[in-house]
Structures are given as C-alpha cells and as structure tokens.
Amino acid sequence: MTLTRRDFLKATSAAALSTPFLDVGGDFLAAEGELPKRIAIVATIWEYLSHAQHMGDRFLVGYPFAGKWRRPHIELVSLYVDQRPEGDQSEARAKEFGFKVYPTITEALRCGGDKLAVDAVVVIGEHGDYPRNEKGQKLYPRYEFFREIVDVFEKDGRAVPVFNDKHLSFSWQKAKEMVETSKRLGFPFLAGSSLPVTWRLHPLELPLECEIEEALMIGVGSSDAMDYHSLEAMQCMIERRKGGETGVKAVQMIQGDAVWKAGADGRWSHALLASALSRSDTMHGDSQRPQDLANNGDLPRLAQNPSAYFIEHNDGLHTTLLMLNGAVGDYTFAARVKGMKELQSTQFFLPRIPNVTYSACLVHKIVEMIETGKAPYPVERTQMASAVLDRCLDSKVTEHRRLETPELNIRYRAPRESQFCNT
C-alpha cells in the first residue's frame, strides 16, 4: 500500500498535536494527480470589500494560514451575482481567472449544462441593496438562494457541500427549514460568522463539558449584522458546556436606560461585564488613557442607545449580549465556570481593513469542508444564532417583552476539537 499525501498529512498533523509549539495547522492538500474540486459561488454582490470579494478572492489568489500562503486545490468555475452595482468586479474577475458568470443560480450550479457540475457551493448573501423589515432585519435572499440550490440537487439526484455566509436567514422558520433540508438530502452544510474561528486574545477555549454558570458577551455595531456576529461568538463558547446545547426557552431584548436598570437588578452580571471589558483593546472615553470603564461611572454616558439581549436556555443557563456602541470597539466575552476560581474571558480579534484576515480563518474552514466532505462544526450553531436574533428582534418590536420560544428547541453538541485560529 502506498501512502497518499493525505495520509501523510493526517499522520503529521496528529504528531503536531503532541508537540505544543509547532502545530503548523491543517493542510487539506489533495492527493497527487487529483483534479481540483470545482466550486460555484452564489453571491448578492461582488464589489471591493464586500464579503463575496474578500472571501471569494481567497479561492482565486490564495490566503495566509499557519504561516503559509495557501492555494487550495479548488477551482472557482462559476459565479452568480444577484446585483451588479457600480463597482461590480464579477465580470473582471471572471475574465482574469477564467470562470463564468451565469444569469441564474441553476445555470451557475450546472455550469451552463443540464446537470449539477460543481463539487461544492459557497453562498455569500451579504452586502447589496435589499429592503429592511419592521424589525430592522435586512432581507437578504439567502433562503431563496438556498431553495434554488437544493432544487438543483433534488432534480439532478446529487447533493454537494454548501457553505452559507453569516446567519442562515433573518427568519427562524426559514433557517430551520434550511437545516432540515440539508439533513434530508444528506449534504455537508457549514455556515456562520468568522468570529468563532478568528484569533482570540487571549486564546481561550472553555473545556468541553464544563459547567457554565453564566455568560456575557459585549458587541458593537448595527442590528441585524453585528448583533448576529456577537450572538454566534457567544454561542461557540457556551455550546461546549455540560450536556451541549439544549435549546432556548425564552428571550428578551431591551434598550436604553432599561439596560442599566436591569444590570442594577442583577439580570446581567456586573462582574462578567468587568471581566469582558478587561479584554477590550478599544476603550473609548473622554481621554485616551487606560480606564476602569466597568467601575468609573462613564459607561452609561458613553454607550449610545445600549441594548441587552437576554437568552434563557432550557438547561437553566442564562446568557446576555450587551451591545455597547460608543463605549468600546471590539467583541469580548466572559463566563463564570463552576470549579474555576477566576472568570474566563477573551476578545474575538478582528484584524482590520483591508486584509480582514478573519475571513482567511473562515475560508480555511470552508476549504476543510470541501476537501474532507465534512463540516468542521455544526450548522445548528448558526441556526441557533439566527433564530435567537430573530426572536430577540420580535421582542424589540413587542414592547421589549419576554417571549417564550418553544420553537428554539435546537439541540446539538460542540465539536471536540477547538476550531478557532491559534496556529
């Protein structure tokens, strides 16, 4: 028996795990002579610094991971873009890199033929001109894109791995249907934010099966983009708790001074706030100096229209997301874990524009799924973040009431291995 390159890499990466200093990270290199995997990208728009550009380009020009410039053995063969605003780069990219832009998703997946002709589909339904609903959700057509993709799978009798960027849908029902469809057809389905896979400062991972007593996330940015990222970042930490994710029984979203009152009433933990803020590298304040923002009284003045998202899980865990625009500029997390003396906290690090290297971390996970045929982490994580956000925004428009959420009975287990970038 001859050892393939993949066997070799499997063996070397297993060895690397036992040497703490020199894990070079996963190489998902194809075996010698193997043809490149062919992929289609289905995007809303492709313009400079849109998600489709900075993620899609990584399949064309490569990306850095673990100290090497990776050129995945993957060929982008077809593209669908839903909108072509001024600044559209889709045709220029197609011409330069030798792929084709098709007028429909179906044609992109079949590369103009009559059968599915790609080995994977990457859906990037972020950015572009789409309406918002009364809950403030931007109505990206990710569900519609997905429907058209699985229609092709069903008609052509073959399904391939799918990646969906960011939340599955603005609607919890649609997100649920997407996950169920992927299970029914049996194709690997990966989705979500880059926050769970980017670098952490410091590189905290909670031990699998630990007992989390409470958790709090601090985020910034607009709804329903950045609160989604924050929810999914928190979810990737708390899903490692004892028993795994058990679903959510109720949510509530409040805004303004009510957030501080809820803190004073003990609905969210001040100690966790202080711990999360201790991981922030971007304290705003009246002067550029170190400050104890958790305790110096400045926070209510600095935070512009703060909001709190309360999430009650079926197993009794209560978690909170605080969106604190104006006070900080980064994403931090803290948890109280049974048996650990110190609170556990970290920052999800987002490297800056233009490189936005976090998207290299995410693309590396997509490459892993395409090359191995397995999603490295469960799509239910993203389903949960999508659904929790949708129901929190329902609470926002129903007088910030607490809503029972029997429909969020989403149960799953975290992957055993850490998935964030630390190599």
418 binds another protein (CB under 8 A): no
Q: Give the Cα-Cα-Cα angle 311, 314, 320 (nearest 5 degrees).
A: 15
Spatial separation of the C-alpha atoms in residues 91 and 104, rounded to whole Å: 15
Question: What's the min distance (Å) between Cβ of 226 and another protein?
Answer: 17
Total residues in contact with another protein, by rule CB under 8 A: 56
In the three-class reduction of DSSP (H, G, I as helix; E, B as strand; rest coil), residue 86 is classed as coil
What is the dihedral sign for C-alpha 68, 235, 334, 337? negative
Of the candidate residues 4, 173, 222, 282, the single one contacting another protein (CB under 8 A): 282
Q: Which stretch binds another protein (CB under 8 A): 34-42, 57-65, 134-142, 148-156?
A: 57-65
Scan residues 332-351 and list those touching another protein (CB under 8 A).
334, 342-345, 351
Tell which phi-psi region holds residue 172, choosing left (phi > 0), alpha (psi between -120 and 50) or beta: alpha
End-to-end, the C-alpha distance of the chain in Å comes to 32
58 binds another protein (CB under 8 A): yes
Q: Which stretch binds another protein (CB under 8 A): 33-41, 185-193, 271-279, 365-373?
A: 271-279
Spatial separation of the C-alpha atoms in residues 345 and 216, rounded to whole Å: 9
What character string, x for contact with another protein (CB under 8 A) and - otherwise, covers 126-145? --------------------
297 binds another protein (CB under 8 A): no
Which residues are CB-neighbours of 323 under 8 A, at least 6 positions away? 218, 219, 220, 221, 223, 226, 227, 230, 306, 307, 308, 309
Question: What's the min distance (Å) between Cβ of 238 and another protein?
Answer: 18
Question: What's the min distance (Å) between Cβ of 132 and another protein?
Answer: 27
288 binds another protein (CB under 8 A): yes
Q: Which residues pair with 42 in a beta bridge?
A: 80, 123
Of the candidate residues 111, 258, 302, 356, the single one contacting another protein (CB under 8 A): 356
**Which residue, 58 or 166, has its beta carbon nearer to another protein?**
58
194 binds another protein (CB under 8 A): no
275 binds another protein (CB under 8 A): yes
Note whether 166 and 228 are within 8 A (CB): yes
Question: What's the min distance (Å) between Cβ of 204 and another protein?
Answer: 9
62 binds another protein (CB under 8 A): yes
4 binds another protein (CB under 8 A): no
Q: Which stretch binds another protein (CB under 8 A): 52-60, 146-154, 167-175, 260-268?
A: 52-60
Q: Which residues pair with 101 in a beta bridge?
A: 79
Question: What's the min distance (Å) between Cβ of 31 and another protein?
Answer: 19
Phi, psi angles (nearest 5°) of residue 412: -165, 170
203 binds another protein (CB under 8 A): yes
- CA 72 to chain centroid, in Å, comes to 21
186 binds another protein (CB under 8 A): no
What is the dihedral sign for C-alpha 259, 262, 264, 266? negative
Phi, psi angles (nearest 5°) of residue 84: -125, 80
Spatial separation of the C-alpha atoms in residues 405 and 319, rounded to whole Å: 15
Which residue ranges make up the site for another protein (CB under 8 A)? Answer: 21-24, 48-49, 53-54, 57-58, 61-65, 67-69, 89, 92, 199, 201-203, 274-275, 277-283, 288-292, 294-295, 329, 334, 342-345, 351-357, 360, 422-423
